[in-house]
């Protein structure tokens, strides 16, 4: 069974944990744009060198570079039967590009899972994580701002996928196993 899934949710909702668990359960790679960027930069690929120039200057990596990196990753053998995307697409233009990439292979996204979580609970999680990891820059104000930015940027994407009948909202709070089961039951 192929699975082409996008996983979205606010920082602290447990996307990384659930992506790893779903990857194993579904037998498809979990593909994080952060991991793709790091791998390309570390491997000193042409795209990695280009992205690094923008990142070193503190600038947003243009969609063309991000899209190329994602297209390259989706073309790898382990993604032939499916994948789980985390962190992409982030813009409406990236949604359109992903649609084009997949249509060229006569494929399409099958599910978009949005992990939802109470804002105060997410703030508490992120504050605890910041303390554990020694990230003094993650104050409550900074975290709440990141959540506001996430909401603003994600709303257009959730609207697109909801209009296509692909969006599945899953409560991201509770026991890890329960959340995984909730997700799997919505996509099977």
Which sequence positions are flagged as catalytic?
Answer: 15, 90, 129, 135, 146
Alpha helices in 27-175 (DSSP H): 33-42, 46-56, 63-74, 92-104, 119-132, 140-163
Determine if residue 89 is labeled as part of a ligand binding site: yes
Determine if residue 174 is labeled as part of a ligand binding site: yes
Determine if residue 17 is labeled as part of a ligand binding site: yes
140 neighbors 123 (Cβ within 8 angstroms): yes
Determine if residue 125 is labeled as part of a ligand binding site: no
Determine if residue 34 is labeled as part of a ligand binding site: no
Contacts 24+ apart (CB under 8 A), 71-78: 71/101, 72/47, 73/31, 73/36, 74/31, 74/101, 74/102, 78/28, 78/29
Determine if residue 100 is labeled as part of a ligand binding site: no
CA distance 166 to 6: 10
Determine if residue 59 is labeled as part of a ligand binding site: yes
Residues annotated in a binding site for ATP:
12-17, 129, 174
Residues annotated in a binding site for AMP:
33, 38, 59-61, 87-90, 94, 135, 146
């Amino acid at each position: 069974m192929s699975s082409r899934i996008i996983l979205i949710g606010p920082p602290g909702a447990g996307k990384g944990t659930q992506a790893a668990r779903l990857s194993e359960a579904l037998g498809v790679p979990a593909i994080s744009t952060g991991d793709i960027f790091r791998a390309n930069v570390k491997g000193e690929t042409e795209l990695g060198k280009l992205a690094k120039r923008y990142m070193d200057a503190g600038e947003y990596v243009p969609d063309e570079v991000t899209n190329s990196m994602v297209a390259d990753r989706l073309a790898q053998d382990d993604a032939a039967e499916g994948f789980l995307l985390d962190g992409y697409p982030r813009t409406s233009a990236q949604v359109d590009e992903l649609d084009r990439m997949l249509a060229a292979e006569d494929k399409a996204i099958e599910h978009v899972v949005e992990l939802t979580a109470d804002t105060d609970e997410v703030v508490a999680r992120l504050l605890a994580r910041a303390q554990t990891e020694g990230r003094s820059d993650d104050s409550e104000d900074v975290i709440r701002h990141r959540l506001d930015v996430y909401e603003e940027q994600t709303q257009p994407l959730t609207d697109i996928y909801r209009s296509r009948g692909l969006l599945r909202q899953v409560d991201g709070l509770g026991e890890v196993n329960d959340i995984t089961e909730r997700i799997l039951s919505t996509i099977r």
